[in-house]
């Protein structure tokens, strides 16, 4: 039995900073290929797991979860082993001071992002965030030794490992979007082939955090799916976040109602969920879903696309919080979709 928490933990342990997803290939393949008939890396930028129902000319369902995570890139190496860096994906500068990172050079090196000692700060400076190019990473190496291991252009990821909170909740780095990837993988792993009404393509795509289009588009161009579900995280309700742009954690995943997504496909997902008494929330993203769906739906001849998202707190920090129940519910919905002929009408 595939345990949700364990799978998420293992997926999060795989470094996949935007632009460095290629480094994840071996680890990811070893971890998830047993759950698919085939597993390959698409040229466009996605790992693709395929599970076929076994019938000729079955319709194709694509479930896309981006696999990249926010991180950084080395831009300079200084005396005393200090590194300058820039962002890969949208970094939250509120959390950077004294944060811990791994630098992925020839080997993995630990570092701490320097915070400014109080005696060097102007009065009231604590209210201002430093610019990224003013920040440094302390590696504890001499410049000479460091240059043998790290080069400009190497990737940097946050340090945090997954950890448990109360009940079903967990926190850690790169929950965005490994938790959704886990939901898609769990769905594929637990689907019974005889019940499937389609061939399932799970794409774990690259570069969402930088381009919002990602590698899924190229992969889809080859796969030519008849329907696609993009799964990504969305804002959990939180003080200061408007109710209309957030959903409640622990109350199930959410479908996006948007001018870009396919309403018929979306409605069939809602109906499937209702039939199985799975809690499904709704978000309204009128003109932009903020996910790969925006680009994916216009790929090739066009792909009917729906978005199923999972509530997440502290997005783009190294302690993103999710509820495992929401992930399991999302996986159930994906399974129902794969076993339903109606979604392809």
Partner 1 sequence: MNRKTEGADLLRALCLEFGPSGCEDRVADLIKENIEGSYDELVPDKMGAVIALIRGNGKSDKKVMLSAHMDEIGFMVREIREDGLICFSSMMGPDTRIMAGRRVTVGMPDRLNRGVIAMKPVHTVDRGDRDKAAPVDELYIDIGASSKEEAEKYVKIGDFGTFESDFVQFGENGRLLKAKALDDRLGCALMIETMRKIYANKDKLAYDVYFAFTCREELGMGGARCASHKIRPDYALVFEATAVADIYGVPEISRVATRGEGGAVSIIDKGTIYDKELVELVIGVAREKDIPCQIKKYVSGGNDASHIQRAADGVKCAAISAPCGYIHTASDVIAVSDYEAMCDLAVAVLERIDKNA
Nearer to partner 1, 59 or 250 (CB): 250
| 100 touches partner 1 (CB under 8 A) | yes
> Least Å distance between CB 131 and partner 1?
8
Does 117 participate in binding partner 1 (rule CB under 8 A)?
Answer: yes
> Is position 111 an interface residue for partner 1 (rule: CB under 8 A)?
yes
- According to the binding rule CB under 8 A, does residue 240 interact with partner 1? yes
Q: Which residue has the tokens 């460095």?
A: 20
Q: Classify the C-alpha dihedral 180-185-188-191 as positive or negative.
A: negative
Beta carbons within 8 Å of 55's beta carbon, 6+ residues apart? none
Does 314 help bind partner 1 (rule: CB under 8 A)?
Answer: yes
Which is nearer to partner 1, 26 or 118 (by Cβ)? Answer: 118
Tell me: does residue 232 bind partner 1 (CB under 8 A).
no
- Closest approach, Cβ 265 to partner 1, in A, equals 26
Q: How many Å is the maximal CA-CA distance in the chain?
A: 72
Give me 246's structure tokens: 């957030």
The sheet carrying 169-172 orders its strands as: 163-164, 169-172, 320-323
Stretch that binds partner 1, among 23-31, 35-43, 91-99, 203-211 (CB under 8 A): 91-99
Local structure of 119: helix, strand or coil = helix
User: Binding partner 1 by CB under 8 A: which of 26, 56, 79, 192?
Assistant: 79
Q: Is the Cβ of residue 243 or residue 277 nearer to partner 1 in the bound state?
A: 243
Q: Is 12 in the site for partner 1 (CB under 8 A)?
A: no
CA gap 37, 277 in Å, rounded: 30
Report the candidate in 158, 190, 163 with the shortest Cα–Cα distance to residue 16: 158
**Is residue 27 involved in binding partner 1 (CB under 8 A)?**
no
Sign of the dihedral defined by the CA atoms of residues 301, 63, 257, 226, in that order = positive
Which range, of 11-19, 136-144, 223-231, 253-261, touches partner 1 by CB under 8 A?
136-144
Task: Establish if 123 lies at the interface with partner 1 (CB under 8 A).
Answer: no
Beta carbons of 332 and 186 less than 8 angstroms apart: no
Q: Does 140 bind partner 1 (CB under 8 A)?
A: yes
The dihedral through the CA atoms of 203, 206, 207, 211 has a sign that is negative
- Of the ranges 43-51, 167-175, 267-275, 297-305, which one interacts with partner 1 (CB under 8 A)? 167-175
Supply the minimum distance, in Å, between the C-beta of residue 128 and partner 1. 6
Burial (Cβ within 10 Å: 0-12, 13-18, ≥19) of residue 308: buried
Find the binder of partner 1 among 25, 43, 98, 345 (CB under 8 A). 98
> Which of 275, 258, 192, 261 has the alpha carbon at shortest distance from 228?
261
Tokens 């935007």 -> residue? 18
Residues in contact with partner 1 by the rule CB under 8 A: 78-82, 90, 92-100, 109-112, 114-120, 126-129, 136, 138-142, 145-146, 160, 163-169, 171, 235, 237-242, 245, 249-250, 313-319, 321
């Amino acid at each position: 039995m595939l345990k949700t928490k364990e799978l998420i933990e293992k997926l999060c342990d795989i470094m996949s900073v935007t632009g460095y997803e290629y480094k994840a290939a071996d680890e990811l393949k070893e971890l998830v290929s047993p759950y698919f008939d085939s597993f390959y890396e698409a040229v466009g930028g996605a790992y693709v797991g395929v599970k076929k129902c076994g019938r000729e000319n079955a319709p194709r369902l694509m479930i896309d979860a981006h696999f990249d995570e926010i991180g950084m890139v080395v831009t300079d190496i200084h005396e005393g082993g200090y590194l300058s860096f820039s962002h890969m994906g949208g970094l939250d500068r509120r959390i950077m001071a004294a944060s811990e990172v791994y630098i992925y050079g020839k080997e993995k090196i630990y570092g701490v992002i320097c915070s400014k000692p109080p005696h060097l700060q102007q009065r009231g400076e604590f209210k201002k965030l430093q610019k990224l190019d003013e920040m440094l990473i302390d590696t504890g190496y001499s410049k000479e030794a460091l240059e043998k291991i790290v080069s400009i252009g190497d990737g940097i990821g946050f340090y945090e490992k997954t950890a448990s909170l109360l009940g079903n909740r967990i926190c850690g780095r790169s929950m965005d979007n490994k938790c959704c990837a886990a939901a898609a993988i769990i769905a594929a792993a637990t689907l019974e082939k005889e019940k499937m009404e389609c061939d399932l393509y799970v794409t774990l795509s690259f570069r969402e955090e930088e381009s919002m289009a990602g590698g899924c588009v190229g992969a889809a161009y080859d796969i030519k799916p008849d329907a696609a579900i993009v799964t990504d995280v969305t804002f959990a309700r939180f003080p200061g976040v408007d109710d209309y742009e957030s959903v409640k954690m622990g109350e199930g995943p959410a479908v996006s109602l948007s001018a870009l997504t396919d309403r018929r496909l979306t409605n069939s997902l809602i109906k499937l969920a209702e039939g199985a008494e799975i809690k499904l929330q709704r978000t309204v993203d009128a003109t932009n879903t903020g996910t790969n769906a925006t680009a994916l739906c216009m790929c090739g001849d066009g792909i009917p696309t729906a978005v199923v998202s999972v509530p997440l707190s502290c997005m783009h920090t190294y302690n993103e919080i999710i509820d495992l129940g929401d992930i399991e519910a999302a996986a159930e919905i994906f399974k129902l979709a794969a076993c339903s002929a109606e979604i392809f009408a």
